[in-house]
Amino acid sequence: MAILWSKQKVCQVQVLLRKLKPSTVTFQTSMEHNSFRTDAVRNGVLINSHQSLTIMIHSKQFKFMPNRLLILPAFLFLHSLLFAGTIREVTYQSKTLNSSRKMNVYLPDGYNGTTTFPVFYLIHGGGDRYYTWANVGNAKSIIDNAISSGKAKPMIVIMPDVTDFAPDLFTRELLNDIIPYTAANFNTIEDKDHRALAGLSWGGLQVLDAGLYHYDMFGYLGVLSSGWFTSDTQKYATMKTYLNQNGTKIQQSIHYVYYSDGGQGDIAYPNGLATIKLLRDNGIKVNYFQNSGGHSYTSWSQDLQRILPVLFQDGNCTPTPIVSNIQLNGDDWIPVSSAQICSGSTIKFGPHPYDVTTGWSWKGPDNFSTDQREVVLTNVTTAKGGEYVVTFKNAGGCTSTAKVTLTVDAAPSIHILSPENNATISSSSVYITTDVSGTGIKKVTFWDGKYVIGEDSTSPYTLSWNNLASGNHILSATAINQNNCSDTAKVSLSTETITGLEEESASASTSAYPNPFVTSFLISNPGSFSYSIYDIAGAEIEQGSGNVQASAGLRLPTGLYLLKIRSNSDSKLIRITKE
């Protein structure tokens, strides 16, 4: 049967070749001498064999007929078959509960009943079941990928059914039933250095109980979105006494304590911080991480990806996983390893573990370097684009690195040519002109405060603004390009037009002086009169009366006003200015 490989499928499986260690792939021909050629191609190996060829990948055989041109990644399209583990649902008899119980067991690819493996006990949260990590948390795919890529050691993962067990009951069930059953029925390495325990939410409380009180049983602990309730002062007092007596022994016995939450939106956030403080105060090193996603499997799936590479590493050096986090222009932190921003922006790099301030070093474009964990770049230029590499050396002297790729797009530049800043407009319309520079300009949007008054998508980007309301205005113009980068210019202006008042006839001898004035002015009119002073929006702000003369305007702030003088049936409007 012939198989036609589409270009897309070949490209997909080519990527898998980069995840294979050279020792996992061997070649053997049907003849005594190797008579085939391998050539390096992009992301793969090109094989041209003139005789039948057998390829061994992780102890699996694949045979190919002679005179075929093969691209090695093509048959790595079978990756899900080559490297996928299996999940078995098993039932065991619990002596602690005197009942039968279920659990899911992940067996890695290559499990054959003879090779022994380390064991990771992965605990669900309150209200969950033994299948929730697989069905909701995508555990199988995450474990498969971590092992097949070489990031994690092959391991057995036990996911028991311990819904809402009190922590001490869970500990008895784990030690007396789950671990013994696992050891008796699967090929496990039975020592603490090859045994890990992690749980989320209520499962994290179960892990704290079993892991801290039986620290000689586990080499690795993981607590996800959990911690002793801060209101339970008796629990903290009990644990403070216990940890004060045993903290040093716990630290010496357990290789790695992983702790995380889903940020301040995680309901367990305050409990976790208080628990971490108590652990650290008693000499236990805690590696703390924050995720996106709050109190959900969105967060906990990130934890599983991060904790797997830490487990069961040979030697005393366990690299600390680095999680890239970026904050753009003061927004929330997001866990990404690349960002595309506009010039002039502000970006922060804040890798996790974020509560460890020493051991960091950065290298980046434009001769950038620093030993600070959190890096802030302000008013970023295109020269700052490129790859930033962060290195972290933990207390054990083990280093790990992460990369952040930053793409900086040039932003446009805009200036308002007319009207000028602080201009006074004496009509109800104004013609706006701008000067815009930059490539790929899509449009310029014009605003009166927060309201759009028009757009122009054609150079030179102008607008006729009609029907201006009386008063003060903040005119802004925003230019945006095809990369959605923008720049904004603003000017202030005011209008003299006053609505609702019309000029009326009056005696020529009616006047106001001095005008302009600094302190106050004198109104002169034959006989008795009344007056009102209006601002440029038409609001009355002062009124009074007099006989022949009256002083006015003492309490007015500087600005342009309209004075209306009424005498018998006549009235007169006079523009006045206080300087």
Between residues 527 and 206, the one the model is more confident about: 206
pLDDT at 496: 65
pLDDT at 490: 95
Give 44-56 pLDDT, tens digit per residue.
333 334 444 444 4
- Nearest residue to 535 via CA among 493, 569, 499: 499
Q: Are 14 and 42 in contact (CB under 8 A)?
A: yes
| Interval 55-71 mean pLDDT | 44
Q: Are 392 and 321 in contact (CB under 8 A)?
A: no
Place of tokens 């949260």: 125
Cα separation, 327 vs 350, in Å, equals: 8
Which band of pLDDT confidence, cut at 50, 70 and 90, is reported for residue 83?
A: low
Which band of pLDDT confidence, cut at 50, 70 and 90, is reported for residue 157?
A: very high
* 7 pLDDT higher than 60: no
pLDDT at 101: 96
Cα separation, 445 vs 457, in Å, equals: 9
Q: Tell me phi and psi for residue 307, to 5 degrees.
A: -80, -30
Range 85-310 classified under CATH 3.40.50.1820? yes
Query: Quick one: which H or E segment has residue 549?
Result: strand 540-552
Give 386-434 pLDDT, tens digit per residue.
999 998 887 767 778 888 899 999 999 999 999 999 988 777 778 999 9
pLDDT, the chain, mean = 82
3-class DSSP state for residue 302?
A: helix
Which band of pLDDT confidence, cut at 50, 70 and 90, is reported for residue 320?
A: confident
| Interval 325-351 mean pLDDT | 87
pLDDT at 311: 93
pLDDT at 499: 45
pLDDT at 467: 75
* 337 pLDDT higher than 90: no
Give 223-270 pLDDT, tens digit per residue.
999 999 999 999 999 999 999 999 999 999 999 999 999 989 999 999
Give 134-152 pLDDT, tens digit per residue.
999 999 999 998 888 888 9
Cα separation, 440 vs 459, in Å, equals: 11
Range 413-495 classified under CATH 1.20.1300.10? no
pLDDT at 116: 86
pLDDT at 359: 87
* 42 pLDDT higher than 80: no
| Interval 180-190 mean pLDDT | 92
| Cis amide prior to 335 (ω within 30 degrees) | no
Give 531-574 pLDDT, tens digit per residue.
999 876 667 889 999 998 999 999 888 888 888 888 876 788 88
In the CATH hierarchy, which fold is given to the domain comprising 326-403? Immunoglobulin-like (2.60.40)
Count CB atoms within 10 A of the CB of residue 168: 12
Domain 511-578: which CATH class? mainly beta
Which regions of the chain carry the CATH code 3.40.50.1820?
85-310
Report the half-sphere exposure of 71 (CA within 13 A, side-chain side).
Answer: 20
Query: Quick one: which H or E segment has residue 463?
Result: strand 463-465
Q: Are 430 and 473 in contact (CB under 8 A)?
A: no
pLDDT at 221: 97
| Interval 302-325 mean pLDDT | 82
Q: How far is CA 75 from CA 12, 38, 56, 71, 80, in A?
A: 11, 15, 11, 8, 11
Give 193-235 pLDDT, tens digit per residue.
899 999 999 999 999 999 999 999 999 999 999 999 999 999 9
Which regions of the chain carry the CATH code 2.60.40.10?
413-495
pLDDT at 13: 36
Which band of pLDDT confidence, cut at 50, 70 and 90, is reported for residue 104?
A: very high
3-class DSSP state for residue 24?
A: helix
pLDDT at 277: 96
Lowest-confidence pick of 65-69, 172-176, 524-528: 65-69
pLDDT at 429: 79
The number of residues making up the chain comes to: 579
Which band of pLDDT confidence, cut at 50, 70 and 90, is reported for residue 579?
A: confident
